[in-house]
Amino acid sequence: MALSLTVSDEVRALAPGFTHVAIEAHGLVNGPSTEASSALLDDAARRLAARLDGRAPHEDPHMAAWREVYTAFGSKPSRTRNSAEALAKRALSDAGLPRINLLVDLYNAISVAHLIPVGGEDTDRIRGGMTLVRATGAEEFVTVAGGEEVVEHPDAGEVVWRDEAGVTCRRWNWRQGPRTRLTEESVSAIFLLESLAPMPVAAVEAAGAELAELVEKFSPGARIDVRAAEPAS
């Protein structure tokens, strides 16, 4: 049974140009980063540089649209960047992109190459369905600070992904919680590609198709379901 994904009316009203593609996969093989996944990240950084052609990531029209939405729900986009802008900034720096694990490397490569926020969640750790909502501020977000588990609360009005157990990602796609992240032991996942106008729907669908192909390549035999782009009504 497919994982339920819901976008609240409040979020659709805030960002009428929002679109997302979901890729659900089961029977995955994850593990440490490999030379092949590392090469994909290096190639993604080259593709990003060509796409930007000397511009800073935040000057890209798609990233500018995300900054506007972050500002609209009360976040400072220069301090809390969307995941794609943060990765792009790192890709262009001397530090380069991090190597996390095989599956995370795959979706990070797609995020950087296409300059689109992409996240991955372990569906075995999701409780119920996932919903994109504007927070009340009472929700719990369990994270780790200084090696210790701590509970944070999102700001009232902040856009968050959540399940029945609490917030899974703060500030839309800024910071993922450790509870549902993909680990080397993960065998099931849902990957979310999120876009705003002016990115064409065809562009996010192409990014999704490329990610699905990579997942199939690195996890032969996995059951993969791609849900078409769901633009706001």
How many residues appear in the chain?
A: 233
Here the tokens at position 208 are 């999704």
* Mean pLDDT confidence for 140-160: 93
Here the tokens at position 107 are 């979706």
Cis before 117 (ω within 30): no
Mind listing the pLDDT tens digit for each residue in 190-199? Answer: 999 999 999 9
Give me the chain's average pLDDT, please.
96
* Mean pLDDT confidence for 182-186: 97
Q: Does domain 5-227 have CATH number 3.40.50.300?
A: no
Look at residue 21 and tell me whether its pLDDT is greater than 80. yes
Mind listing the pLDDT tens digit for each residue in 115-147? Answer: 999 999 999 999 999 999 999 999 999 998 888
- Which residue, among 228, 10, 43, has the nearest Cα to 132 in the 3D structure? 10
Look at residue 11 and tell me whether its pLDDT is greater than 80. yes
Per-residue pLDDT, 187: 98
* Mean pLDDT confidence for 63-88: 97
pLDDT band of residue 233 (cuts 50, 70, 90) is very low
* Residues 6 or more apart whose Cβ sits within 8 Å of residue 53: none
Instruction: Provide the residue ranges of all domains of the chain, joining segments of one domain with +.
Output: 5-227
Whole-prediction pTM? 0.96
Treating both helix axes as pointing N-terminal to C-terminal, what angle do 35-52 and 83-91 enclose, rounded to 10 degrees? 100
What DSSP string describes 165-194? TEEEEETTTTEE-TTTS--TT--EEEEEEE
Per-residue pLDDT, 27: 98
- What single-letter DSSP state applies at residue 218? H
SS (H, E, C) 8-76: CHHHHHHCCCCEEEEEEEECCCCCCCCHHHHHHHHHHHHHHHHHHCCCCHHHCHHHHHHHHHHHHCCCC
pLDDT band of residue 69 (cuts 50, 70, 90) is very high
